[in-house]
Structure formats: structure tokens, C-alpha cells
Amino acid sequence: MIASRRAFLKTAVLGSASLVIGFDGSGLLYAVEAKPGTQFQPNNWVRIDLDGSVTLTIGKSEMGQGVRTSLAMILAEELEADWTRIKLAQASPSAVFDDLGTGGSDSMRDGWRTLRKAGAAAREMLATAAAARWKVDRASCAASNGAIVHLPTNRRFDYGALVTDAGKLPLPKEPSLKNAADFKIVGQRTPRIDGRDIVSGKALYGIDAKIPGMLHASLERPPFEGAKPKRMQEEKARAIRGVRTIAKTSRGIAVVGDTTWAAIKGRTALAVEWDDPPAGAFDSEAHEKLLEAASRERGFITRTEKPPPATGAVAKTIEATYHYPFYAHAPVETMNCVADVRGDRCTIWVGTQAPNKLQKQVAELLHTTPEKVEVNLTLIGGGFGRRLAVEYALEAAEISRVAKAPVQLLWSRPDDMKHGHFQAASVHHLAGGFDAQGAPISWRHTKAGSFHNISPLDPKEVHDAAWYQDWSWGTYDVPYAFPDIETAYVTVDLPVKHGPWRAVFAPSSVFAREAFIDEMAHVHGTDPLAFRLDLLRGADIVKAGTTTIDRRRLRRVLEVVRDKSSWGSPLPQGHGRGVACNAYFGHTYIAYVVDLGVDHDGKVRVERVVAAVDCGIVVNPIGVEQQIEGGIIWGISSALGGEITFRGGVAQQGTYADFAVARMRDTPAVEVHILPSDASEPFGMGEPPVPPIVPAITNAVFAATGKRIRRLPIRPEELKAV
């Protein structure tokens, strides 16, 4: 599989394709090369061979979001390709693909804009070629299922037969896109294109890459930044059968062996003892106190809505502080990478969300140029933002350079858990004001958190409100119609590695916001779902900082979960029902109603979740459902599972036993309602399901027990019946 993918890309680079066109930054088509040949490759994304087989290039990393399937659906739709005959190629970083990256739930929007045009251009060129051969008007020809048909006579040419002619044609500047009403593939429930490979064990992940002469490495990293080894047993490690080299690198000490097992055993035998942590090394408990104090500062004001003069004075204020912990990504496939450094060249096999960044950084490390670093992408056994960092590839490249051999570096589970770039802790201070009549009129939300440190901040960036908003999703974009709003951000330094995690900055902010709205509803004496709907009246389209929110879409998802969950119907003793909603960047709108029970020991069991989603145009309903289900399970892990804590600069958790994630027994019945949307494009689904699920759970816990959860994860001892 890897070999054929590379062969394809090489072919493209050699230019044996008849015509290559691409897209510049603004998404415009441009011609790169025009040579006669045996393939029709009108752009970077589509290639048709003489035998009629269609190869679609996927420019996003597949990590479970089904992107290979959904992007292929979009391309195949506009191309009118025969879905059963398409092949996929994965784009690798190159001069043509110079900005690959998967994150922020933007694959569908990107793809929708770029790939439809690519597919349509190819379709038009094929139709023009067929019309010229028949000497008929192109308007009398139509594309259908991998062929161009002359409608009046029913003559047809398979795409393969048109390859040579189409390759000589000029590019259509503005190919006409299909009408949504004519879609045959987009919107259909489409099983994963790689589903059979997965269930038969043939799907290839980074960990499965094998190349001739490959050695295996296990890397002992400094437990905290700046730690130096005090002692190690090199002789003992070398005595382990199969150990070849002990590679001292700038990133730690690697044991390299013939097998993974030799490397693991060698590392254990090496028994590196590190410096003791300095006094004052990072401690998450102390950090939480700093965050809490910071949350009471004024901070940088990210959004202000000044109350109109008619607004009454605040007669009553309620306040609360919400604590959000550190979490690990904990994908089941631990970080790994194969690197083969030879002189100034390097070949990499890796699962990554950031291929070009990886290529560039490996090139810098090796003092070479990016085009000398070939990056082959595999499937990813769980990304969630973790694989936007590329340090594991840099480690592998360094080890390969020292070992002078191709090396597979595999992280152990504790390596993965302790050396993650974590979801950062934050503390939120909220205040809500009511006027003399008891109407909710003011909203204050200050988030104390930390900027990501997995890549340096750009010193050129202006630190204005928009910039701060970017660090505080879910805070400034409160969708509710308070006449008086002020949101703020306070920065607290965080020395441990932290970076994007599923839904990035939103989960903590939306937890605090949606839980506190519930508190206000309670004080107001109103049903929390009705309270939200009331606060979503007024202008339908509102500007919340840099985000535009369509309150109609948010109301609709709330109304659907209200109706489908039999909201308001009685529940047994010890049970509760909670609601929460969110508009993710004004793109994807989701509401949940959660039913749960709390037992005598304070153990929470989520029993049922009703979800409603408006994510714009739905490309693959199966994918949307899967992401909602997965997002719910992710949220159950953060509400009821483990957290990461630090002592002496080191994460204390190292396994799924001490950083618990949801299992089958924690799984509720899930009902997903996908709403018809008036949006004109598809929006992301990987991240948006995550933020509102945790507050829906904690609000249900309040309904069941009368106890407000203001610190995650939920601690059963605090809910124990007394």
C-alpha cells in the first residue's frame, strides 16, 4: 500500500501526466504543466487512467473522522465518477501540496470549496472531449457514472477513452457545479471506503510501517525540561540480546535494537536515573490556585456589549468559579514514527496531522531542505490534535541519524501519557445579573488559561481582542441575548507542554458557560431549556466578537432535543435530566439532553443522550452520527474519567488505569437527530460534538442531586448520599 502510494506520487512529479493543474492560495485553478501522455490529470486531486480508473487524492489525514470517504464523495459527486471504481491516494508534502494539515474541524469546508471545483473541471473537460469526437454540442452531453453520454443518441464514452483528448483541452475557468438537488453521492449513507481493511487487520497505521533493515527504538526522555541523567547502566543495556546501539540524542537516550522487545528490554536495563526535580517544579495544585486568583483579575476584555440606556440596574448578582483540569489525548495508537536518514536525505513513515510542518522541522533538524525529506502518511490510530505536534518524528530522525539505519521509534503507553501536550487547565469566573424584576440582564465570564506552547507564538501578531478571542472559544461567543456582556481572558504561564486537544479551547469555556446558565435559570426559577430559548430571542443573526451566530439554528437544535427527549417528563428517584448547547464558531450547532442516574456511592451513570445537530450540508450522515457518538463518549471520559495531575514537573498518570477513559459499560443509549440546514456548505464534525456534552451531564447531575459540579472530573465522593 505504501509502495503504490509513493509510486503514484512519483509519477505525478515526473510529469508523465498529460496535464496537471492546481489551485493557488485563493482557490483559483492554474495550469502547471501540459504534456501529452496516457493519463488525464486535470488537477492535483483527480487522475484518470486509460483504463477508466479514477484516482482521487486526499489532502487530509484520516484519523477516524472518515475524511477519506467524505472527501472522495465530494470529488466523485462533481466528477460523476463510478463510486465502486475509485481509488484513493494520500497526498504527501511536496511543491504541489505545500500546506497539508488536519485540525480545527475544517476539512469539510475546505474540501467542499476546492474539491467540487476540481471534480467539476475534470467533468467539463471530459464532456468537451466527447462532444468534439462526436461533433455535437457539449450541451447535449451529460456525465454519468464514469462515462459521458450523448443524450439524443445514447452513445457513450467511458472516461478512460477520453483521457488523451481531455488532457489537451484548456481549463475551464469557472466550471459549473452541480445543483444540490442532483446529488447522487453527497448526502447518502456511505460506508467507510477503508472499512474492509480495518476489520480484516490490513489497514496500515504508523506503527505497522516496515521497511527493510529497520531497527526499533525506545526512548528515555528527560522527565521534565532541563533534567540531566545522573546514572545509567549502559553495560547492562548493551548486554541485552538484540540491542545494537545506545543513541544519545538531544531529546533523550534511545536504546536501539533488532526488535521492539529488545529496545524495550534494553531501556529497562539502562535504568536511567534523572536529576531530582528542582524546588518549585511544576505542580498542578499550585497552578490551579494561580489560575483561580487570576480568574478574579480584570484581564484582557475580549468582548463588550454595552447595555442600552433603557436597561434597568442590576439588582441581584450571582457568581461562581469553575475549575477545569488537565487531560491527555490518550489515543490507542501511541506516538510512533519510522525515519530513515541517509546523508542529507530522510524518508519518514508516520501518522501525522501536520505533514508539511513535520517535513520542514525534520529538514531543519538535519540541516537540509524540505524536498529532501520524503514524508509518507499512514492512517492514524487516534489524532484528537495530539498529532499536530511533530516531536516524535524529530526524535525518530535523530535516532536514525545516530544509529545509521532506518529506525522505528515507538512510545510506550506511559511515554504517551506523560509526555503529551496536554489539554490545559483553566479556571473560569462567572457572574450573572438580574434586574429588579428578576430578568437576567448581565453576563460576565473571565477565563484564566494559557496559550499553547507546542509552537512559539508569532511575535509579529498584534494582541488585540480578536487575537485573545482565538484563545478563548466558548467564552466571548456567548450566544445569549444579555443586554450587558463582558468577557475577558487572563493569561497564566504554564511551563508543561500543552496544545490542541479535541475542540481545543472550547470544552472548558462551554462547560463553565452552559453550567452557569443553568445556575441562572435555577435562580430565575425557570426551566433551564426554556430559559435558554428565552435568551436566544431578539436578533436572529448576531455578531459575537469575530464569530457570527445564527440563533435560529441554535433554537432549532434545542427545540428538537426538547421534543425528542420528552423533556419535562418525570424520572425515577436519583435520576436527572440536563441540557446544554453550543454554536461552534457559528458553524456547527449542537444541543444535547442527557438522562442519568446517580447511585448511593455517588457514581454517575449516563443512561441516554439525545443529540440534535445542524452542521450545514451533510456529506455523509454516517460520519456525522459517528462523530456525535464519539464526541459524547469523549465527554463522558472527561466528566467521569481521569484527569492529569503534576507533581515535581511530572505527570503522575501513566496508564489507562490511572487516567481512566470511558468503556463499554459507561456507554449510554445515543439518539442523533441531524437537522435539515439552510447553510450552503458542510461544516466540521470532529470537534463540535465535544464541548456541550460535559455541561449537559453536570446539569443533569444537579437535577438528580441538587449538587452543582464546578470542578471536573466529577468526584463520586462529593455526590455520595449522606
Q: Which residues bind other proteins (CB under 8 A)?
A: 62-66, 191-192, 194-196, 198-205, 207-208, 210, 216, 241-242, 259-262, 264-265, 329-334, 379-384, 410, 412-413, 622, 626, 629-634, 655-657, 661-670
State the minimum distance, in angstroms, from the CB of residue 296 to other proteins. Answer: 36
Contact between residue 281 and residue 649 where contact means Cβ atoms under 8 Å apart: yes
Question: Which of 483, 61, 571 has its CA nearest to residue 307?
Answer: 483
Nearer Cβ to other proteins, position 124 or 416? Answer: 416
State the minimum distance, in angstroms, from the CB of residue 662 to other proteins. Answer: 7
Nearer Cβ to ligand FES, position 53 or 655? Answer: 655
Instruction: Name the amino acid, one letter, at 123.
Output: R
State the minimum distance, in angstroms, from the CB of residue 353 to ligand FES. Answer: 15
Percentages (nearest 5) of helix, strand, coil residues in the chain: 30, 25, 40
State the minimum distance, in angstroms, from the CB of residue 713 to other proteins. Answer: 16
Partner that binds at residue 259, options other proteins, ligand FES, none, CB closer than 5 to 8 Å by kind: other proteins
Nearer Cβ to ligand FES, position 442 or 637? Answer: 637
State the minimum distance, in angstroms, from the CB of residue 659 to other proteins. Answer: 11
Question: Which of 607, 499, 610 has its CA nearest to residue 564?
Answer: 610
Give me the half-sphere count of Cα atoms (radius 13 Å) on the Cβ side of residue 198: 12
Contact between residue 386 and residue 411 where contact means Cβ atoms under 8 Å apart: no
In 295-425, which ranges are continuous DSSP H helix? 355-365, 391-403, 413-418
State the minimum distance, in angstroms, from the CB of residue 183 to ligand FES. Answer: 28
Partner that binds at residue 498, options other proteins, ligand FES, none, CB closer than 5 to 8 Å by kind: none
Nearer Cβ to ligand FES, position 73 or 662? Answer: 662
Question: Which of 432, 414, 354, 434 has its CA nearest to residue 386?
Answer: 354
CA 698 – CA 713 distance, rounded (Å): 10
State CA 2 to chain mean position distance. Answer: 24
Radius of gyration of the chain measured on its C-alpha atoms:
28
Partner that binds at residue 380, options other proteins, ligand FES, none, CB closer than 5 to 8 Å by kind: other proteins
Partner that binds at residue 412, options ligand FES, other proteins, none, CB closer than 5 to 8 Å by kind: other proteins
DSSP string for 346-372: EEEEE--S-HHHHHHHHHHHTTS-GGG
Nearer Cβ to ligand FES, position 64 or 167? Answer: 64
Nearer Cβ to other proteins, position 97 or 205? Answer: 205
Phi, psi (rounded to 5 degrees) for 125: -65, -40
State the minimum distance, in angstroms, from the CB of residue 308 to ligand FES. Answer: 50
Question: Which of 557, 506, 555 has its CA nearest to residue 688?
Answer: 506
Per DSSP, what are the bridge partners of residue 46?
A: 56
State the minimum distance, in angstroms, from the CB of residue 382 to ligand FES. Answer: 5
Say if strands 646-647 and 604-614 run parallel, antiparallel, or are unpaired: unpaired
Phi, psi (rounded to 5 degrees) for 686: -70, -45
Partner that binds at residue 330, options ligand FES, other proteins, none, CB closer than 5 to 8 Å by kind: other proteins
- The footprint of ligand FES (CB under 6 A) covers 64, 332, 382
Instruction: Name the amino acid, one letter, at 640.
Output: L
Nearer Cβ to ligand FES, position 198 or 436? Answer: 198
Partner that binds at residue 384, options ligand FES, other proteins, none, CB closer than 5 to 8 Å by kind: other proteins
Nearer Cβ to ligand FES, position 107 or 627? Answer: 627
Partner that binds at residue 203, options other proteins, ligand FES, none, CB closer than 5 to 8 Å by kind: other proteins
Nearer Cβ to ligand FES, position 199 or 332? Answer: 332
Say if strands 141-144 and 243-249 run parallel, antiparallel, or are unpaired: unpaired
Partner that binds at residue 186, options other proteins, ligand FES, none, CB closer than 5 to 8 Å by kind: none
Partner that binds at residue 205, options ligand FES, other proteins, none, CB closer than 5 to 8 Å by kind: other proteins
State the minimum distance, in angstroms, from the CB of residue 64 to ligand FES. Answer: 5
DSSP string for 516-561: HHHHHHHHHTS-HHHHHHHHT-S-SEEEETTEEEEHHHHHHHHHHH
Farthest-apart Cα atoms in the chain, separation: 87
Partner that binds at residue 191, options other proteins, ligand FES, none, CB closer than 5 to 8 Å by kind: other proteins
Instruction: For CA atoms 164, 165, 168, 169, give the dihedral sign.
Output: negative
C-beta nearest to ligand FES: residue: 332
Nearer Cβ to other proteins, position 12 or 693? Answer: 693
Three-class HEC string of 602-646: CCEEEEEEEEEEECECCCCHHHHHHHHHHHHHHHHHHHHCCCECE
- DSSP summary character for residue 59: -
State the minimum distance, in angstroms, from the CB of residue 552 to other proteins. Answer: 29
Neighbouring residues of 570: CB distance < 8 A, sequence distance ≥ 6: none
State the minimum distance, in angstroms, from the CB of residue 380 to ligand FES. Answer: 9
State the minimum distance, in angstroms, from the CB of residue 654 to ligand FES. Answer: 13
Partner that binds at residue 321, options ligand FES, other proteins, none, CB closer than 5 to 8 Å by kind: none
CA 546 – CA 475 distance, rounded (Å): 12
Partner that binds at residue 194, options other proteins, ligand FES, none, CB closer than 5 to 8 Å by kind: other proteins
Nearer Cβ to ligand FES, position 516 or 634? Answer: 634
CA 413 – CA 411 distance, rounded (Å): 6
Nearer Cβ to other proteins, position 65 or 487? Answer: 65
Per DSSP, what are the bridge partners of residue 246?
A: 255
